[in-house]
Amino acid sequence: MTTAASTSNSFFDSLESAPPDSILGLNESFKNDPNPDKINLTVGVYQDESGVTPIFECIKLAEKQLVDTESSKSYLPINGSPEFGLAVQKLLFGTDDQGTDHEIVRSKRAVTAQSPGGTGALRIAGDFLQKKFPNSRVWLSAPTWANHPAIFAAAGLETKNYSYLNSDKTGLDFDAMKASLDETRPGDVLLLHGCCHNPTGVDLSADQWQELAAIIRQRQLLPLIDCAYQGFNAGIEEDAVGISTLCNAGLEVMICSSFSKNLGLYGERVGAMTLVADSEKSAKAALSHIKSCIRVNYSNPPKHGAALATAVLSDDGLRDVWFKELAGVRARIKQVRSQFVQEMNRRCESDFSFIENQNGMFSFSGLTPLQVDQLRNEYSIYIVGVGRINVAGINSNNIERLCDCIAKVMA
């Protein structure tokens, strides 16, 4: 008797393995590395001083509340929980001086689709854009998050790159960025990182966002803001400066946000795709198309994590706990950056102080792909290939060894 695999009916025999993911694949290799001194600076997951990715206290409290109050595990609507959507909009757009919701929220010209994480939000955006604006090209910073090009390619959209970093890769070259935008066509999509640029930690200043708003209007572009780290640089409101600048300039905007990092809800997959239109009517029409993209993909989003986020965002007490915890995260990241700079400057001739000017969890270290490979192969130190370091993976137990090894490969 012949087995299925030996007949010409075998579908999978000829498959070659796909290359591992450039971020999550490294994380898997790290887990399999037997070296007890291994150091993981790969995936963008916050770690505390003891190397643990903690569950936020506000989430623990919300979980307890939810056990008593949740009455059903039935499906959510296709675009998720309306309470969650409203809470997301209030977080992104903030309130005016009197504490009143932003005009965008009051006029209902924003719609939100709850998504499985920030990646899910980006894919919803890609599917919607491909469906309704198939000729739009998506402009990505060079460099950008490694998954961006693949997400938009999978949605069937063409991607282009705009310049971002200066020649020594330590800061922004805004003139070069603006010059690249001269190549855009009306109707193209401009992907911007709301804050804590991934992978560089190099952000636009408030003035540069203003200038960009004028360029976006003049060149008739659609801004798509990836906002995965709100609260990780200066604060929830402060980190939304890009969003508020573009929105207050009267532009239509799409925003992909995530609670993976700022509420530590990584595995719960809690994100949102928010679209701001000129009117409530156009926002509603856009939502109907967004919903049809979601229905054929995962039907409707997961419930639990979004319920936790909603509980924290809509309860003053839980919000206070959250804000304090986020402040602690920011303080630790800034402290680690300073320590890293001090330790490196003691060991190397090159000046590492630019690392203190970068925002959020990631730094562009300046390490070459060869040096990154050497660190992994010889010292079990795992860094993403482009030289991106997750600074939250550095702690007092590993900083000496890390800096010694980096100094060695740079010598």
Residue closer to ligand LMR, measured from CB, 15 or 18: 18
Residue closer to ligand LMR, measured from CB, 151 or 181: 151
The distance of closest approach from Cβ of residue 23 to ligand LMR in the complex, given in angstroms and rounded to an integer, is 4
Residue closer to ligand LMR, measured from CB, 44 or 126: 44
Residue 364 engages ligand LMR in binding (rule: CB under 6 A): no
Residue 145 engages ligand LMR in binding (rule: CB under 6 A): yes
The distance of closest approach from Cβ of residue 326 to ligand LMR in the complex, given in angstroms and rounded to an integer, is 18
Of residues 127, 139, 145, 322, which has the active-site annotation?
A: 145
| CA-to-CA dists, residue 223 to 139, 181, 210, 349, angstroms | 10, 12, 13, 41
* 8 A C-beta contact, residue 318 and residue 312: yes
The dihedral built from the CA positions of residue 164, 167, 173 and 177, taken in this order, carries a sign that is: negative
Going by C-alpha positions, the residue among 93, 111, 48 that lies closest to residue 278 is 111
| CA-to-CA dists, residue 263 to 44, 318, 322, 350, angstroms | 13, 12, 8, 36
| CA-to-CA dists, residue 40 to 47, 147, 345, angstroms | 10, 19, 22
Residue closer to ligand LMR, measured from CB, 147 or 245: 147
Binding marks (x or -) toward ligand LMR, 90..129, rule CB under 6 A?
----------------------------------------
159 phi/psi in degrees, rounded to 5? -115, 150
* 8 A C-beta contact, residue 287 and residue 111: yes
Residue closer to ligand LMR, measured from CB, 137 or 269: 269
Gap between the Cα atoms of 178 and 209, Å rounded = 11
Q: Could you give the 3-state DSSP secondary structure of residue 115?
A: strand
Tell me, yes or no, if 139 is annotated catalytic.
no
Residue 293 engages ligand LMR in binding (rule: CB under 6 A): no
Tokens of 46: 């916050």
The distance of closest approach from Cβ of residue 24 to ligand LMR in the complex, given in angstroms and rounded to an integer, is 6
The distance of closest approach from Cβ of residue 161 to ligand LMR in the complex, given in angstroms and rounded to an integer, is 18
Of residues 127, 139, 209, 261, which has the active-site annotation?
A: 261
* 8 A C-beta contact, residue 257 and residue 195: no
Residues 21-50 that bind ligand LMR (CB under 6 A): 23, 43-44
Of residues 127, 226, 303, 322, which has the active-site annotation?
A: 226
Residue nearest to ligand LMR (CB): 44
Beta strands 271-276 and 253-258 are antiparallel
The distance of closest approach from Cβ of residue 239 to ligand LMR in the complex, given in angstroms and rounded to an integer, is 16
Residues 146-165 that bind ligand LMR (CB under 6 A): 147
The distance of closest approach from Cβ of residue 19 to ligand LMR in the complex, given in angstroms and rounded to an integer, is 15
DSSP track, 336-361: HHHHHHHHHHHH-SS--GGGGGS-SS
Going by C-alpha positions, the residue among 20, 27, 32 that lies closest to residue 42 is 27
Helices (H), ranges, 9-94? 24-32, 57-69, 82-93
Tell me, yes or no, if 320 is annotated catalytic.
no
Residues 186-225 that bind ligand LMR (CB under 6 A): 198
The distance of closest approach from Cβ of residue 147 to ligand LMR in the complex, given in angstroms and rounded to an integer, is 6
Tell me, yes or no, if 48 is annotated catalytic.
no
The count of residues interacting with ligand LMR (CB under 6 A) is 6
Classify each residue of 315-335 as buried b or exposed e, where b means 16 or more C-beta atoms within 10 Å of its C-beta: beebbebbeebbeebbebbee
Residues near ligand LMR (CB under 6 A):
23, 43-44, 145, 147, 198
Q: Annotated catalytic sites, by residue?
A: 145, 226, 261
